[in-house]
Structure 1
Amino acid sequence: MIQQKRVLATDIPGPRSTQLQARKSGAVAAGVSAGLPVYIEKAEGGILVDADGNQLIDFGSGIAVTTVGNGNPRIIEAVTKQIADFTHTCFMVTPYEEYVAVCEKLNELTPGDHEKRSALFNSGAEAVENAVKVARHYTGRDAIVTFDHAYHGRTNLTMGMTAKNMPYKQGFGPFASEIYRVPMAYPYRWPTGPQGCATEALEVVKSQIHTQIGEENVAAVVIEPIQGEGGFIVPPAGFLSGLADWCREHGILFIADEVQSGFCRSGSWFACDDEGVVPDLVTTAKGIAGGMPLAGVTGRKEIMDAVHGGGLGGTYGGNPVACAAALASIETMEAEDLPGRAREIEAILRGRLEKLAATYDTIGDIRGRGAMIAIELVEDRETKAPASALAAAINKACHERGLVTLTCGSYGNVFRFLPPLVIGDELLAEGLDILEEAFAAATS
């Protein structure tokens, strides 16, 4: 058992991590970088233990992956048993029950009470790419619509769907064709203000699709119900539901990319649940399997079953060990009411962040839902000029004090908070104390 407390045994990073970082430079491609070069040896709950014996508070969850915490006993037991039974056969060669059971849970938990089917893959990018394949096959159309500030992955297709150039797209083109981008309903930065954002943004989206693409050519609109890497942008109430209704009117599939926002992270099982939005297809990954590589596409039966046999799959997709971890992770979420816990975390985070915003006018916006909360840093609240350098400085100060934090946003000026949902209140409060110290240090 790892005591759930911060311990600073050395400077961050310490000598052993520094040595390992030197080895990394000599062995690992330079394009694979690390935001905080401390090398982890053990982890449990909300604590990461590095090679120097430092215990760091985890506000990142491996980018929303270890939702049920590292060292989760259900996952350890399930994975250990599955490894002892078998580690791989390839579901497309000789199938196994674990894959079927995960699909059954996805069909049960994802939004909507219609009949569904699922398919499993390895990563969020794979899930998005396969959702596009399904949509194009089912509709017979080519065009895919995505949004400003979107992030959908690092494959060639999903890079084309992703908005941000650096570091994701620079030098990697040309990208797949028939990908179109429209404005995101971004309340904080909508030109006329947040009040009219939902209605105005929806009209702009519909108009651009009509004039630049043609509704009859669009296979799917793909959107993150809460944007992740783009800055935890939460579209205003009515935008998602209006968009989904409009898609249905024109035979366009509405695909919700719930890779980061799904599995209790937003205070509901899925972010779409907040407004009762029912997508045609849902992509999942990250928090589904407690750190094991697994992803899924779930959708209406008639859409998913339209693809010919052998048209979907992959050698490792739905690996039995990852499936066992997913079933244990979902069991934990249900048994411990982790959607409810996410809402408790939100209340704590918002309370502390609002107090911080009263002290620092560089905090322009506080947004998000559940344990998916962010602050956007600006040079001043009137111009809203992004304060990217300040975000980097505060992030560095957090790291030096033993708090793992993440920045994001198209301008690199957004702090995102993604603690494990099993984190204790005391550890959460200590992490927020460190954040306050980092603000003071970076702004003094």
Structure 2
Amino acid sequence: MEKGGAELPQERAIVTEIPGPKSRELEARRSTAVAAGVASSLPAYIVAAGGGILKDVDGNQIIDLGSGIAVTTVGNANPRVVQRAQKQLAAFTHTCFMVNPYEAYVEVAEALNRLTPGSFEKRTVLLNSGAEAVENAVKIARAHTMRDAVVVFDHAYHGRTNLTMAMTSKAHPYKAGFGPFAGEVYRAPMSYPYRDNRAAGTKVSGEEAAVRAISMIEKQIGSENVAAIVIEPIQGEGGFIVPAEGFLPKLVEYARAAGIVFVADEVQSGFARTGRMFASEWEGIEPDLVATAKGIAGGLPLSAVTGRAEIMDSVGPGGLGGTYGGNPVAAAAALGTIESYEQDGLVGRAEQLGEIMVDRLTRLQSKHSEIGDLRGRGAMQAVELVSGDSHEPNPALAKAVAEHAAKNAVLVLVTGTYGNVLRFLPPLDISDELMADAFDVLEEAFAQALA
């Protein structure tokens, strides 16, 4: 039995090339068994994980700067999560809450009603995935407003279901060949400070960017037809774009005045990741509905929509739910996860990790003009890579740096509309020593790629 969790030695170790021979054997089996459309960033097959380390079948120990794309935020095999999930697993695995309910579902809903932004009365529905949460938020908004149109933003990512593909901005690989998509989805310009400011030759304020988006909504749709504005407070797959200060509050103000439901997609930015429990808190906005997933249950599949009671209750009995939504084992894991956030100081730890990353990345940026922008909040940081003074996206450099890091046992994820952004999402229980080691490797990776 492989050691996992806190028992796994917290050190980078290269035993074979990465991926090693055993991983390559598994990859050969995969090619004949798994659909080709399911791709992996680093095909090193994992047998144990904990803290900041992923251990593969060849014995390599890889520093994890991805957290399963912001899922294992409390750490892999977190003891609080494991203990609660094991206890529930031994009691019963499923009844379907829509048939025979159970307390854990109610407890998770109570916790989310308490933790999400806003002091108003709330309700929650539990689901399975981030895309399902976003899609249900749209359903609820449409039921409440009796309107059809949904406004999303440039560079957005909301999922891979038919509706959420329509809401997602990037065609390849998420949308190409999968249409036609759901209708009544409209795209507004996002506040993207790095590129907005360069295009304008001056600083574009958040309020100015919001007025630009609102003008488009009014001209092309009409506020009276809009059910929901759906936005990631910090965009995820779009490249960790942090909108200019004032952008989100102005949109909320507009939505309130127009009777539009404001939906915050906090699937990637939620649950302590940014140094706040939810990214919406950075500018004090109170979304009508919040969609959550990823960091909610320590690695078990679970998602939720939480929001104003009068909006959530617009849908009648039977209108929301699903066979596995709020599965009792996942709900138990969520309770352990939330306990860890609140009792293990993880919100503060996210801020500390952010300071470490910003310091190292700022120093790297001073050496390499190809790092055009450094942005993020807390333990959700990114660098946008460009071709020197032209500021054109440089996906080749992002790929080269990530590949060098992977060969040297550091996992870094590439993202962004243009494929030119390196994103950093370490688990919050990673040590300072591992972070220093990982960024030493990244420094080497940049030096080699730009030699």
Q: How does the TM-score come out when normalised to structure 2? A: 0.97
Q: Is the aligned partner of 1:28 residue 2:28? A: no
| Equivalent position of 1:184 in the other structure | 190
Shift of the alpha carbon at 1:20? 0.2
Aligned equivalent of 2:444: 437
Query: Mapping of 1:286-325 within 5 angstroms?
Result: 286-325=294-333
Given residue 317 of structure 2, which amino acid in structure 1 is its aligned partner?
G
Kindly provide the CA deviation profile for residues 354-407 of structure 1, in whole angstroms up to 9, marking residues without a partner as x: 000111110000000000000000002x32100111101111001000001101
Matched-pair contact (CA < 8 Å) for 1:188–1:194: no
Q: Contact 1:141–1:219 at 8 Å: present in 2 too?
A: yes
CA contact (8 A) 1:255 1:280 kept: yes
Cα displacement (A) at 1:200? 2.1
Corresponding residue for residue 364 of structure 2: 356
Counterpart for residue 379 of structure 1:
387
CA distance in 1, matches of 2:23, 2:214: 51
Contact 2:205 2:246 in 1 (8 A): no
Contact between 2:205 and 2:245, CA under 8 Å: does it hold in 1? no
Coordinate RMSD, CA, aligned: 0.7
**Is residue 156 from structure 1 mapped to residue 162 from structure 2 by the alignment?**
yes
Which residue, 391, 410, 414 being the options, matches 2:421?
A: 414
CA contact (8 A) 1:187 1:193 kept: no
Structure 2 matches for 1:33-432, cutoff 5 A? 33-190=39-196, 191-193=199-201, 195-380=203-388, 382-432=389-439
Deviation at 1:201, TM superposition (A): 1.2
Q: Cα offset for 1:94?
A: 0.1
CA distance in 2, matches of 1:278, 1:384: 35
Aligned counterparts of 2:305 and 2:143: Cα–Cα separation in 1: 15
Whole-Å separation in 2 of the counterparts to 1:196 and 1:402: 40
Q: Distance in 2 between matches of 1:193 and 1:107?
A: 43
2:187 aligns to what SS in structure 1?
strand
Structure 1 unpaired stretches of 5+: none
AA in 1 matched with 2:245: A
SS at match of 1:298: strand
Partner Cα separation in structure 1 for residue 336 and residue 201 of structure 2:
44
SS in 2 for 1:106: helix
**1:339 positional shift:** 1.0
What's the secondary structure of 1:42's corresponding residue?
strand
- 1:193 is displaced (CA, Å) by 4.9
Partner Cα separation in structure 1 for residue 74 and residue 216 of structure 2:
41
Instruction: Give yes or no for contact 1:375–1:414 (8 Å, CA) kept in 2.
Output: yes
Does structure 2 conserve the Cα–Cα contact (< 8 Å) formed by 1:141 and 1:217? yes
Aligned to 1:3: 9
Which whole-Å deviations, capped at 9, do the CAs of 1:8-45 have from their partners, x for residues lacking one?
11000000000000000010000001110000011111
Cα separation, 1, equivalents of 2:319 and 2:390: 50
For 2:397, give the aligned amino acid.
Answer: L
Q: Which amino acid aligns with 1:12?
A: I
Whether the 8 Å contact between 2:140 and 2:312 is mirrored in structure 1 is yes
Percent identity over the alignment? 61
Question: Is the 1:378–1:387 contact (alpha carbons within 8 Å) kept by the matching residues of 2?
Answer: yes
| Letter paired with 1:377 | L
Q: Output the CA distance in 1 between the equivalents of 2:356 and 2:50.
A: 21
Please tell me whether the aligned partners of residues 371 and 419 of structure 1 are also in contact (alpha carbons under 8 angstroms): yes
- Alpha-carbon separation, structure 2, partners of 1:211 and 1:62: 40
- Corresponding letter in the other structure for 1:289: A
- Per-residue deviation, 1:194: 6.3
State whether residues 186 and 197 of structure 1, in contact with CA within 8 Å, keep that contact through their aligned partners in structure 2: no
Give the number of aligned pairs: 443
Assess if the C-alpha contact under 8 Å between 1:187 and 1:194 holds in 2.
no
